[in-house]
């Protein structure tokens, strides 16, 4: 398993809505992520900057942000587009992060 991390930007004032939507994440999206070999997925929020930091383990070398051709993912991105910084296709603006330390 490979661990990958990335950051995204939450629009100000939408912290609770972001949490609410993820607390009710669609079962078909969870199934898709697991089918694609994505697990141990966490998202952290930096209150000072409104950046979201995603960390996930992947078995196929592709993370959740690489599944944009899937209709479920496209629907999720559209659902989240009003509260996050997004690209023209509603995908979240995502910046990969380089690991500099890991304690096993």
Partnered with residue 45 across adjacent β-strands are 52
Give me the catalytic one of 22, 46, 59, 79: 22
Q: Is position 16 annotated as part of the catalytic site?
A: no
Instruction: Give CA–CA dist 45/47, Å, rounded.
Output: 6
Q: What is the DSSP string of 29-53?
A: HHHHHHHTTEEEEEEEEETTTTEEE
Neighbouring residues of 36: CB distance < 8 A, sequence distance ≥ 6:
58, 60, 62, 64, 67
Instruction: Look at the block and give the residue holding tokens 């697990």.
Output: 39
Which residues form the catalytic set?
22
């Amino acid at each position: 398993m490979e661990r990958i991390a990335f950051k995204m930007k939450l629009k100000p004032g939408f912290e609770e809505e972001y949490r609410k939507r993820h607390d009710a994440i669609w079962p078909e999206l969870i199934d898709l992520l697991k089918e694609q070999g994505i697990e141990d997925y966490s998202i952290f929020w930096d209150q000072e900057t409104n950046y979201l930091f995603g960390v996930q383990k992947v078995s196929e070398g592709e993370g959740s942000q690489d599944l944009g051709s899937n209709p479920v993912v496209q629907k999720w991105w559209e659902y989240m587009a009003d509260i996050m910084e997004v690209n023209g296709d509603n995908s979240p603006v995502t910046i990969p992060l380089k690991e500099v330390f890991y304690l096993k």
